[in-house]
A and B are shown apart, each in its own frame.
Chain A
Amino acid sequence: MPNVIRDLSDTSSYWAAIWTICPLPDAHVICDAPIGCFNLVATAIPDYTDAVPHIENVTPSVIREGEVSGSGTAQTVKRTYEALRDSGILSDKRLIVVSTAESEMIGSDLSDLVTQLQPGTTFFHSESLSYDEWLGRDRVLQWLWDNYGAADAAQIAPEPGLVNIIGPTYGCFNAPSDLHEVKRLIEGAGGRVNLVFPYEATLAGMPSLAKAQVNVVLYQEFGQTLAATLGRAWLQAPIGIKATTEFVRELGRLLGTSDQAEAFIRHEKKTTLQAVWDLWRGPQSDWFSTISVGIASTRTYVDGLSAYLGDELGMQVAFKAYRPRHAGEIGNEEVRSLLHKSPPSFVFGSINEKIYLSEGGKRQTSFIPAAFPGPVVRRSIGTPFMGFRGTVYIIQEMMNLLYETLFNFLPLDSAYTAQNGGGLVSRVGIQPVSLVWTPEAKAVLDAALEKMPFIARISASRELQMRVETVAQQRGLKEIDAALAREVLEK
């Protein structure tokens, strides 16, 4: 039985390669891609995942029909390289050519070609037809080390107290906040951050990965292969009270700074974590056991959130949908039917879960973004899921959404509802435009739209229009005049 995908959650290893290599400012990538694969990965998507206007150090070879139907991509890659070289962009950069699904599809292997380009140019075969983004990131991190780090690292000795962070790359949900918090934990435990790879690193500076005494891998999904290769002790970044406490303790032990780590934990309990203790002692925690949560996210977040919210705070975990999905775990098809039938009170997820909730008309469920895909700005460093600050942020977010739900349940005198036209019609049937609007009626519609915030107008214009047309149809009218428009829109 062939595998059908519903709302793909994980992208390919080509994307992983671009999103992992391009944070390194002294790298320039030529992606061997049709224009669309470049536009999406370098602009259209990072606009809305990472809130960056565009990724500058990647250029497409622009595969067209000619390349597909026989000529192959070597010439167009070469031309792309020459144009970059002539523009001077490559003068202080190292060039990496990356394959895509389409270039792999037409069998374009450029391992030989790269030897004719700028000296030192390398070819990364992204295996985009086989691997997902997670395995992709893991592979490219290791490949970068093998090609740009390992040789010069041999003579570098580890320095006590230094800690690397492996991850994030572009396209990692909530990365700035989680990274910031993990740095804070490392310093709290008595360490010093050496290199954040690849987010704050350079190709040239890569050998210094060898300087760290301990490595912290930010995500469960990738980075372990490199951590193992580096051969030092490594820890996984934590989510939840217990995991974070253990993380700080263990890091202190590894660095020989246990006293400092213990002091930090004590201090955190009185400061950062005090909020959790206060909420626990307050009326808020009474709700916890009545709250159910569904979680669809990376393995890191699903495990972390379910340990914190379920095991530590006592909420019911309604479902766990892991990315990447392993055999036997629920996928989007199951999540969708769960959300249509019996959604939990909170859903942590991506835009997919949000769509399933709106398909099911589930307005009582609170949605919290916790994964890509989906547009969300997460550039503030104040929204971590990881670490001690993460425990506070998550519960704060949930409580505020709960208050919102409670507020919406409070009765409102129906006289006000009627005065405002009964709220917007939620379900709008789509019918061919067959009713005539007189110019005066149109002016009334415009005036009604003017009163709304601009963002709301876009969706409201159709709804308001349909509301009037529905009444007109009910009355068997062929024309909408100003009186009718006023009656419906201004009552």
Chain B
Amino acid sequence: MCPAFGSLRILSRIEGSHPVMATDTGCLYGLTFVTHFYGARKSILAAHLRTSELMSGEIVESTRAAIDVAAKEPGCQLIPVVSLCVAETAGLPEEMLPRRIGDAEVVLVRVPAYAIHSHPEAKDVALAALLRRLGQPEGERDDKSLVLLGEVFPADPLIIDAVVRQMGVSGTITLPGRSIDDLRRAARAGALAPLHPFYKETTAVFRGWDMPVVGGAPVGASGSYAWLQAVGRLLKLDPALVNATAESERDKAQAILNAQPLSGRILVTGYEGTELAYARLLIEAGADVPYVSTSIGADPLVLPDEMWLKAHGTKEVIYRKSLEDDLAALDEYKPDLVLGTTPFASAAKERGIPALYFTNQLASRPFFLSGGMAATIAFIRQMLTKGAQYQWMQEFFEVDHA
């Protein structure tokens, strides 16, 4: 995946948002393709940047023309201008673009993949740009409300919302989501809870609004317990209520882990930036996870998960990993199941090892708290039983029995 896609993934899914891309033909083709596969059924506009436009310095003019067309889409309220490698190299000055057109805000999002490094970080850059423009911190705060930060399976916010309300949270807003209004009102919430550990810039924007930040994420039994306690403390909720909820969640989660224990060795790798949290849940459920790799860089936000993993048997945690790192781990650890990118998963399948494309299979299931984890664990349990089938396929295609 091109790292810049992270931005389009979230920008294309917002209702009323019509992204305009500024880039060359090949980049545009590829990113439009994946947006139409993973993002939204949404027509994508772009400035046509070829040699002729670049030589004559028409980038701004072309981009403005595309913005004009986008503004005419029905219900258009937001036009993110996504500036990619070629446009960034040539230069696209923000002050030359309109800030508003008709009913729509025009927000420049600079995500050249040569500088962004990873898909999750592009999500962060895009969301931070939107919040800086749209966030409305003025007005009354809802001190007991919570912003959930992270692109999660649609059922997850429901699950989390229901549980935190039991302990007195007044409501939740999930970002990035599909509502522009959520971007505005999130600035007046009581606290920010990053469910994923790579929203660095976005978190900084919230801190700028004096919003406290909850550490960790509601993952697994111990993680959920600690997270609910942290939310309670930050929002100054009734400790007795918080305790009761946190304990009940921990017990429910533990019951699921006990009822569906995992056994086997799993490599957890991917480019989503959420790999450490998944590894943590799998270990709690009993799996051996010696190796975890991710596309994001090391950061204080991921450190607690890394330390937890290292304390629970994980030998290697690799940031900004390469395919070669993962392949070496495949040799070293001989896993029973691999979660990874497509090239890595296919390398595992070529050896007869069950493997899944992390992005397609894991991010499409509920995950958080006791209500979410069951689906993920059941799926992994099922995959761990598939060894014979993967081996049979591998032998059929790769071993010459003649």
By a CB distance below 8 angstroms, the chain B residues around A439 are 162-163, 371
**Which of B2, B26, B47, B54 interacts with A12 by CB under 8 Å?**
B26
Q: Are B51 and A130 in contact (CB under 8 A)?
A: yes
Would you call B154 and A40 a contact (CB within 8 A)? Answer: no
CB distance from B116 to the nearest CB of A (A): 9
A446 to B162 Cα, complex, angstroms: 14
- Please indicate the chain B residues that have their CB under 8 angstroms from the CB of A65 in the complex: 114-115
Contact A129 B51 (CB under 8 A): yes
Q: Is B321 an interface residue (CB 8 A)?
A: no
Complex-state Cα separation, A38 to B1, whole angstroms: 9
Interface residues of A in 346-367 (CB under 8 A from B): 351-352, 354-356, 358-359
Residue picked from B26, B36, B42, B49, most chain A C-beta under 10 Å? B26
The answer on a CB contact under 8 Å between A359 and B41 is: yes
Which residues from B are CB-within-8-Å of A351?
A: 33, 36
Measured between C-beta atoms, what is the minimum distance from A81 to chain B in Å? Answer: 16
Distance between Cα atoms of A187 and B155 in the complex (Å) = 57
In the bound complex, do residue A64 and residue B15 qualify as a contact, i.e. CB atoms below 8 Å apart? no
Write out the residue numbers on chain A whose beta carbons fall within 8 Å of the beta carbon of B53: 2
CB under 8 Å from chain B, chain A span 29-80: 34-37, 39-41, 43-45, 47-48, 53-54, 63-65, 67-68
> B286 contacts the other chain (Cβ, under 8 Å)?
no
Q: Does A373 contact B (CB under 8 A)?
A: yes
- A101 in contact with B24 given A431-B179, A432-B185, A436-B161 (CB within 8 Å): yes
Which residues does chain A contribute within 8 Å of B4, judged by CB atoms? 36
Tell me whether B114 and A373 are in contact (CB under 8 A): no
Q: What's the nearest-Cβ distance from chain B to residue A398, in Å?
A: 24
Is A102 in contact with chain B by the CB < 8 A criterion? yes
* Interface pair A2/B65, CB less than 8 Å apart: yes
A64 to B115, CA, bound (A): 6
Residue of B nearest to A15 (CB): B26
Query: Per-residue 0/1 for B294-320: is the Cβ within 8 Å of any A Cβ (1 yes, 0 no)?
Result: 000000000000000000000000000
Contacts between chains A and B (CB distance < 8 A), count:
219
B342 at the interface (CB under 8 A from A): yes
- In the docked arrangement, what's the CA distance between A375 and B162, Å? 37
CB-CB under 8 A from B179, the residues of chain A are: 430-432
**B34's closest neighbor in chain A, by CB?**
A44
Alpha-carbon gap, A44 to B37, bound state (A)? 10
Q: How many residues of A contact B (CB 8 A)?
A: 70
A4 and B86 within 8 A (CB)? no
Answer whether residue A271 sits at the interface, using C-beta atoms and an 8 A cutoff. Answer: no
How far, in angstroms, from A462 to B179 measured CA to CA in the complex?
A: 14
Mark A423-444 against chain B: 1 for CB-CB distance below 8 A, else 0: 0000000111110111100100
Verify B30–A105 contact, CB threshold 8 A.
Answer: no
Q: Which of A3-45 contact B (CB under 8 A)?
A: 3-8, 10-15, 34-37, 39-41, 43-45
The answer, yes or no, to whether A327 is at the interface (CB within 8 Å) is no
**Is B114 a contact partner of A102 (Cβ separation < 8 A)?**
yes
The answer to whether B86 and A53 touch across the interface, beta carbons within 8 angstroms, is no
Chain B residue total in the interface (Cβ 8 A): 74
- B343–A8 touching, CB < 8 Å: no
Interface flag for B215 (CB, 8 Å): no
Q: Which residues of A contact B5 (CB under 8 A)?
A: 36
> Closest approach, in angstroms, between the C-beta of A85 and any C-beta of chain B?
15
Q: Are B172 and A433 in contact (CB under 8 A)?
A: yes
B149 within 8 A of A: no
B32 at interface, CB cutoff 8 A: yes
A285 at the interface (CB under 8 A from B): no
Are B30 and A45 in contact, with the CB atoms below 8 A?
yes
Bound-state CA distance A48–B32 (Å) is 13
**A129 to chain B: which residues have CB within 8 Å?**
24-25, 49-51, 54, 86
Beyond known contacts A129-B24, A430-B179: 8 more, CB 8 A cutoff: A44-B33, A48-B37, A129-B51, A374-B33, A433-B158, A436-B162, A445-B155, A461-B153
Pairs across A and B, CB under 8 Å, 30 listed: A2-B48, A6-B44, A7-B43, A7-B44, A8-B32, A15-B29, A35-B2, A36-B2, A37-B2, A40-B1, A40-B31, A40-B34, A44-B30, A45-B30, A100-B26, A101-B27, A129-B51, A129-B54, A129-B86, A352-B36, A356-B43, A373-B29, A375-B37, A430-B178, A430-B179, A431-B179, A433-B171, A433-B172, A436-B165, A462-B154
Residues of chain A whose beta carbon lies under 8 Å from any beta carbon of chain B: 1-8, 10-15, 34-37, 39-41, 43-45, 47-48, 53-54, 63-65, 67-68, 100-102, 105-106, 128-130, 132, 336, 351-352, 354-356, 358-359, 373-375, 430-434, 436-439, 442, 445-446, 449, 458, 461-462, 465
B: residues with CB less than 8 A from A are 1-5, 15, 24-34, 36-37, 41-51, 53-54, 58, 61-62, 64-66, 69, 85-86, 89-90, 112-115, 153-155, 157-159, 161-163, 165, 171-174, 177-179, 181-182, 185, 341-343, 345-346, 364, 371
